[in-house]
Amino acid sequence: MPYDTWQAPSTGTLVVELALFGLFVVGAWRVFQKAGKPGWAAIIPIYNVVVLLQITGKPIWWLVLYFVPLVNVVFDILVSLEVARRFGKGLAFGLGLAFLPFIFYPVLGFGDAQYLGSAPAAASAAF
């Protein structure tokens, strides 16, 4: 591609991207700590997904599905919904975790939500 038709991201764009990523990492760090996992796991690529799968109680082989295009989006939504459920939140909050993680992970991490483990009260009451 000729140089004159290609444009690198501006410094402002990079600053915004780093800020949003920072919000996600800080929020995920606190969410991991609330779930009894090491917070630093939020900054280690691939391992953070392994820990997230442990928090949600999903099988570890789901990690492979995160490498399949389009399938990874579906499974990310499913895991986000389960994270929300494990913290006593609903469907809308789970979708927020999936599509706006830089907002919803800090809300979950720094809010008053507590990790309920494998049997949240709302789910166990329904069965």
What is the pLDDT at residue 12?
84
The span from the CA of 114 to the CA of 37, in Å, is 13
What is the pLDDT at residue 5?
64
Positions of the chain with pLDDT lower than 50, given as ranges:
123-127
The pTM score is: 0.83
- Model confidence over 54-72: pLDDT tens digits? 999 999 999 999 999 999 9
Q: Which amino acid is at 10?
A: S
Q: At what angle do helices 71-86 and 47-56 cross, to 10 degrees?
A: 50
From the list 35, 58, 32, the residue with the least C-alpha distance to 43 is 32
User: Where does residue 9 rank: exposed (0-12), middle (13-18), buried (19+ CB within 10 A)?
Assistant: exposed
